[in-house]
Structure 1
C-alpha cells in the first residue's frame, strides 16, 4: 500500500511563483496527497491564490523552519515532503518520488537545476547535486522528503533562521544515508541573478564554512540578508 504523503510548502510573498508550483502539484493532490501551505506573513496575494488549491492553509511567524514545523505538526502523512514555493516539479519527479516512497526509505532528496539560462547556472546546479550526493547533506531547494516518524523522533527542524536544512540533513544522516534521486527539481535562480552569480556562490560557501566552524545561524542569517561576510 502506498504511504500517505503530505506536501508542505512554506511561503511568504510568493504570489508570482506559487501558482506554477500548485499547478505542478495538482495531479499529486488529486491522487490523494495532502497539500499544506504555511504562510509566513505575506503582504501580497499568496494566501488568496492558494486558498482553493491546498488542503490546509496555515499562518505562522516568518521563518522557513518555523513554517515547515507548523505544517508538519498538522500533517497526516506517513511521509513529509518539504517544497519551496519557487520550485517547479515535473511529472518525472512525481513519478520517481512515488516509486521511491513505495520502498519505504527513511529520507531522501532530489537533484536540483537552476531556472536561469547560461552555462554558469547549469554548472552550479550540477555541483550542488554532486556535493549533496557525496556528503549526504541536502539543501531545502532539493525537496527533502522524510518519514514522519524519523522527523518527529529528531524534533523536526531546529528553530534557527538559516541552515535549518543542513542541520536536519546532518541529523538524519546519522540514522541513514539519503535516497538521492537523479531527477532534478527546478528552483528559481533569482537570488544568483539579482546579486551576481559568483558573488552569491562565494557568499554561500563562506556561510557554510562559518556554520561548520560553529558560527551562530542567527549571525549567519544577518550576513546572508546583507550579502556580506558573517
Structure 2
C-alpha cells in the first residue's frame, strides 16, 4: 500500500530556506509516512529547483503566485493526504508521529501545527502566543503553521483559490473551525520579515491586512500593499 502523505511546498527563490525545510521532513521518510514531496516553483532564478531535486523532491513549475502554485502542487500530488508547507518553515522532529496519529484518529478533520519563530527575540514569543491563540479561538491559523488535510476534504472545500494573497485564510474558513485540529508539534518559521520591520509593527500591519480582507477588500488589492 503506498505511503499516504504528499507534501506540497510552493517556492520562489527559496534556495536559502528550503534545505532546512526539506531536512525537517526526514522523520516522515524514515517512518514510511511520506509518499512524495512536490515542490511547486514559480520559476525561481536561483538554485531552488536544483536543491529540491537533489533532495529527491518532484519539481513542477507554475505561474508565480502562492495560490496557483498550491493548486498546481495539489493537482500533481498522488497521496490520499496532503500537507501544504511553506519553504521557510521547518517542522519539529515529532511532526511525523503527530500526523500519523491524526490520519488514523481524525480523518474528517484538517490539522495545523503550533507556530514557533526561529528567533530568540522577546517579540517572537509574544507573537507566537498571539498567533496560536488566534488559531485556537477563531479557527484562523497562519499559513506558516502548515495545513494537513485529506484529498477528500480538500476537494470538498474546493481547494485553494487562485489569488495572490489570503489563500490560506480562504481555505481554513471553508474548512471551518469545527473541522480544524491542532497538532502537538512545532512549525518553526523564519523570522526575517519581523526582524527587518520590527515585531509589533509587522504584526499590526498583517493584522490590518487581515481585517481589511474580512471586511471585503479583494486579495488582489491587498497584495499590492503586502511586502
Residue 25 (structure 1) aligns with: 25
* Distance (whole Å) between structure 2 residues aligned to residue 55 and residue 204 of structure 1: 32
TM-score by length of 2: 0.93
* Distance (whole Å) between structure 1 residues aligned to residue 122 and residue 73 of structure 2: 36
- Given that residues 110 and 183 in structure 1 are in contact (C-alpha distance below 8 angstroms), is that contact kept between their aligned partners in structure 2? yes
SS in 2 for 1:128: helix
Equivalent residue pairs, number: 224
- Given that residues 7 and 81 in structure 1 are in contact (C-alpha distance below 8 angstroms), is that contact kept between their aligned partners in structure 2? yes
1:90-112 CA-partner distances (Å, limit 9, x unpaired): 21122211111111242111110
* Distance (whole Å) between structure 1 residues aligned to residue 59 and residue 215 of structure 2: 38
Residue 50 (structure 1) aligned to one of 49, 52, 59 = 52
Give 1:54 shift. 3.2
Residue 5 (structure 1) aligns with: 5
Give 1:2 shift. 9.2
- Given that residues 91 and 185 in structure 2 are in contact (C-alpha distance below 8 angstroms), is that contact kept between their aligned partners in structure 1? no
Q: Which runs of 4+ in 1 moved over 4 A?
A: none
The change in CA–CA distance for 1:107 and 1:7 in structure 2 (over 3 A counts) is same
Residue 161 (structure 1) aligns with: 164
Give 1:117 shift. 1.4
1:24-54 CA-partner distances (Å, limit 9, x unpaired): 1134235251111111111110111111323
* Distance (whole Å) between structure 2 residues aligned to residue 183 and residue 105 of structure 1: 20
TM-score by length of 1: 0.92
Residue 223 (structure 2) aligns with: 221
Give 1:20 shift. 1.2
Structure 2: 5+ residue runs without aligned partners?
Answer: none
* Distance (whole Å) between structure 2 residues aligned to residue 56 and residue 22 of structure 1: 12
Between stretches 2-11 and 155-164, larger displacement belongs to 2-11
SS in 2 for 1:36: strand
Between stretches 87-96 and 22-31, larger displacement belongs to 22-31
1:67-99 CA-partner distances (Å, limit 9, x unpaired): 111010011111110010011112112221111
- Given that residues 86 and 143 in structure 2 are in contact (C-alpha distance below 8 angstroms), is that contact kept between their aligned partners in structure 1? yes
1:152 is aligned to 2:166: no
